[in-house]
Structure 1
Amino acid sequence: MKIGCPKEIKPQEFRVGMTPDAAREAIAAGHEVLVETQAGHGAGFEDDDYRAAGAQIVGTAEEVFAKAGMIVKVKEPQAIERKRLREGQILFTYLHLAPDPEQTADLLASGATCIAYETVTDDRGGLPLLAPMSEVAGRLAPQVGAWTLQKANGGRGVLLGGVPGVAPAKVLVIGGGVVGTHAAKIAAGMGADVTVIDRSIPRLRYLDDVFGHQFKNAYATAGTTIKLAREADMIIGAVLIPGAAAPKLISRAQLSELKHGAALVDVAIDQGGCFETSRATTHQDPIYEVDGIMHYCVANMPGAVARTSTQALGNATLPFLLALAGKGWKQACADDRHLLNGLNVHAGKLTYEAVGTALGLPSIPAAEALTI
């Protein structure tokens, strides 16, 4: 199969869909790899690195899309990229369709087969292709939140770890999954007073067993959430419902109850955000203020550390990429129910129920798509 890797064109996105090592593995397995020139530059991978791996460098994205049977990316295809997709082509990337009706409509119209990293599952109930970026975003969240809290940026002017004689900042992490756990670890490591809330008792038990007194945890009722939010200098939104739109856990009306200049870091923004006042921002213009509360809602946070993120993502996606290229998407998905869970769109049909529910669109079971 010809595998194509175009350069990412979303603003301030420096990651790339395939590393040179991944290209080498795919070529060793008998496939051709086409990489758009300079696609890896932002992550520190140059054209010569891909050539040394055996990949072919092509001059334009149009050529990549025209020649490749499978397109491998990082971020959801932008409008111009969606127009280049064709019937029968495989798209393997993050999609986050639930809050994005325009992208969904375009992918359905393309006739392409679209497999979303964020809904591929594993035997432990995890999301193995989302996890590495969740780890990166979680570890970045306290870092960018600490920057947002600086007075020059509109924040409260609070140092996360405090100093002797001055209390540290209070950090509330909403959601105790991969993002929340990594955010809490880093925030606590920076000296903050951290509380994680979640609705899963087993998850809270795990956090308590593993991390002990490094940070506190509590059950996430609506009352507990707003009580702790009122006390917090920073609130990190780390809630995920796989494939679906994130729930809105702090309303605009409740912003008046928060500390003036508090920082909201919404890591769930790819799925629509978990604060009512969240809207996607970019690394170039990352923060904004609503009712005296600072919001950091960059939709591709891991892109800020593109080399680390690209390597982590490439490690996770490579086995699935090789299966799709080697077997074809139908056989690969028939052999692996977890990969099948990644199927979101095929031949003009929506194949992920949570997306259909979020957008008010009909969907079919992914297994049914195998017969189309």
Structure 2
Amino acid sequence: MLIGVPKEIKNNEFRIGLTPKSTQVLTQQNHEVHVEKSAGLGSGFTDEDYLNAGAKIIEKSQDLFSNCELIIKVKEPQTIETQQLQPNQILFTYLHLASSQKLTQELINSKCISIAYETITSDTQGLPLLTPMSEVAGRLSIQAGARCLEKNQGGLGILLSGSSYSNPAQTLIIGGGVVGYNAALIANGMQSKITILEKSEKRIEVLKKEFPKAEILNIDQINLETIISRFDLVIGAVLIPGSQAPKILQKKHLGLMKPGSVVVDVAIDQGGCFETSRATTHENPTYIVDDVIHYCVANMPGAVPRTSTISLNTATLPYIESIANNGLSEFLKSSNHHLNGLNTFKGHLTYKPVAELFDIPFMDPKDLV
């Protein structure tokens, strides 16, 4: 199969869809891999690294999109990329369609076959291709929040850990899944005082064992208005797979928070779990609403592209091999978990939560493949 890896063009996105190591695995299986010139530099991989792995370096992305059967990316395609997608071409990447009706329609119009990393499922791992970046984003959320709390960033001017002579900052983590767990891991390591809100009683028991010093509360049994004023840093880590995130933190809550406190919305890829959230970039990561600093960067793991690329590729490579070695039809038919990843197929929307959200006709993927 002819596989293409374009350079990511989203603001300050330095990850790449394939590492040289993964490229070599594919070329040794007699697949041809085309990599756009300089696409790997942000992750620390040179064109020579890819050439040594058996890839061909392509000067222009349009040549890559025009010729390759399978396109491997990291982030959702930008409009200039959706315009280059070919009918029947396979696109394998993060899509997060619930946050963009425009992108959804562009993919439908392109008649490509788009498979989303984040909606592929697993019996044992939940969302196996979302987990690696959820880990990274969760850990980064605390680093970003701690930085925003510094006075020169407009924050409260406090250290997350406090000191021998001052109290630590108080951190609220809304959601105790992969993102929330990893946020708690770093916040705990930095000696912040932690509260986690979680819905699942089973998950609450796990979190209590992992973080015995943290306060773990059932989100359905707590009135956010009664506790929100305590917190210096709030992390939004709520996920409904494939759908828009619920708006847990509302605008009315901001007035109860301390001026200079910080909110970090990791769910922004899925529309955000704060009412006042809007997507930002690494270039301009923050804005202020009611004296509360909002950090809502939509591609947080892009800030650490080396770590992120290697982590993501470790998870995606077996799926890429399966598509390339067995063909798309066999890949989709072999597992309902794979079929769950199919978002658009030759002009049809095949992911039901997005179809319902945007009132677009839905086609059952089982009827198409």
TM-score, normalized by the shorter chain, greater than 0.5: yes
Superposition deviation, residue 113 in structure 1: 0.4
Q: State the alpha-carbon separation in 1 of the partners of residues 364 and 194 from structure 2.
A: 41
Tell me, yes or no, if the aligned pair for 2:135 and 2:182 is still in contact at 8 Å: yes
Aligned to 1:49: 49
Quote the residue 1:238 is aligned against.
Answer: 237
Q: Cα distance, 1:328 vs. partner?
A: 1.6
Output the amino acid matched with 2:351: Y
Q: Partner amino acid for 1:336?
A: S
Residue matched to 2:209: 209
Find the residue that maps to 2:216 and give its secondary structure.
strand
Offset of 1:201 from its aligned partner?
0.5
The residue aligned with 2:352 is 353
Tell me, in whole angstroms, the C-alpha distance in 1 between the residues paired with 2:158 and 2:302: 26
Deviations 1:150-203 (A, max 9, x none): 111111112101112311100000000000000001011101001111110000
Deviation at 1:140, TM superposition (A): 0.6
CA contact (8 A) 1:99 1:359 kept: no
State yes or no: 1:263 paired with 2:266: no
In the superposition, the TM-score normalised over structure 2's length comes to 0.98
Contact 1:110 1:348 in 2 (8 A): yes
- The equivalent residue for 1:121 is 121
Number of equivalent positions:
369
**Is residue 2:61 matched to residue 1:61?**
yes
Local SS of the residue matching 2:242: coil
Deviation (angstroms), 1:125 = 5.5
What residue number does 2:324 align with?
A: 325
Deviations 1:103-152 (A, max 9, x none): 00000001000000000111126111000000000011110000111111
Aligned counterpart, 2:76: 76
Q: What is the rounded CA distance, in whole Å, between the counterparts of 1:342 and 1:323 in structure 2?
A: 14
Aligned counterparts of 2:335 and 2:39: Cα–Cα separation in 1: 30
Alpha-carbon distance in structure 2 between the residues aligned to 1:3 and 1:229: 49
CA-CA distance at 1:245 after TM superposition: 0.5
Aligned amino acid, residue 267 of structure 1: V
Q: Is the 8 A contact 1:36 1:59 kept in 2?
A: yes
One-letter identity of the residue aligned with 1:271:
Q
Identity of aligned residues (%): 49
Deviates more, 1:217-226 or 1:257-266: 217-226
Cα deviation per residue 1:262-299 (whole Å; 9 max; x = unaligned)?
A: 10000000001010111111111111101100000000
Task: Tell me, in whole angstroms, the C-alpha distance in 1 between the residues paired with 2:158 and 2:358.
Answer: 40
The CA RMSD over aligned residues, in Å, is 1.1
* CA distance in structure 1 between the partners assigned to 2:169 and 2:362 by the alignment: 45
2:276 match: 277
Counterpart position of 1:6: 6
Whether the aligned pair in 2 keeps the contact of 1:31 and 1:325 (CA below 8 Å) is: yes
* DSSP 3-state at the match of 1:98: helix
Moved more, 304-313 or 23-32: 23-32
Letter in 1 for 2:336: R
Contact 2:228 2:253 in 1 (8 A): no
User: In the alignment, residue 77 of structure 2 is paired with which amino acid?
Assistant: P
**SS at the partner of 1:54?**
coil
Superposition pairs for residues 91-102 of structure 1, below 5 Å? 91-102=91-102
Structure 2 counterparts to residues 1-372 of structure 1, below 5 A = 1-124=1-124, 126-213=126-213, 215-221=214-220, 223-370=222-369
Please give the per-residue CA displacement for 1:319-356, whole angstroms capped at 9, x wherever unaligned.
00011111221210111221111111001111111111
Structure 1 CA distance for aligned equivalents of residues 210 and 283 of structure 2: 37
Question: Within 2, Cα distance between the matches of 1:212 and 1:336?
Answer: 39
CA distance in 1 between partners of 2:218 and 2:46 (Å): 48
Hey, what's the Cα distance between the residues in 2 that align with 1:218 and 1:64? 50
1:221 to partner: Cα distance: 2.4
Deviations 1:217-274 (A, max 9, x none): 1100274333332211000000110000011111112211111111000000000101
Q: What SS is found at the alignment partner of 2:137?
A: helix
Once the two structures are TM-superposed, the CA of residue 208 in structure 1 deviates from its matched residue by 1.2
Q: Distance in 2 between matches of 1:158 and 1:362?
A: 51
SS of residue matched to 2:344: strand
**Distance (whole Å) between structure 1 residues aligned to residue 3 and residue 51 of structure 2:** 15
- Counterparts of 1:367 and 1:125 in 2: how far apart (Å)? 23
CA distance in structure 1 between the partners assigned to 2:228 and 2:57 by the alignment: 50
CA shift digits 1:61-96 (9 cap, x unpaired): 011101100100000000000000111100000000
Structure 1 residue ranges without an equivalent (≥5): none
CA distance, structure 2, for counterparts of residue 162 and residue 224 of structure 1: 27
Structure 2: runs of 5+ lacking an equivalent: none
Q: CA–CA distance in 2 between the matches of 1:348 and 1:21?
A: 34
Q: Specify whether residues 35 and 298 from structure 1 end up closer, same or farther in structure 2 by C-alpha distance, changes over 3 A only.
A: same
Q: What secondary structure is seen at the aligned counterpart in 2 of 1:137?
A: helix
Does the CA contact (< 8 Å) of 2:23 and 2:33 recur in 1? yes
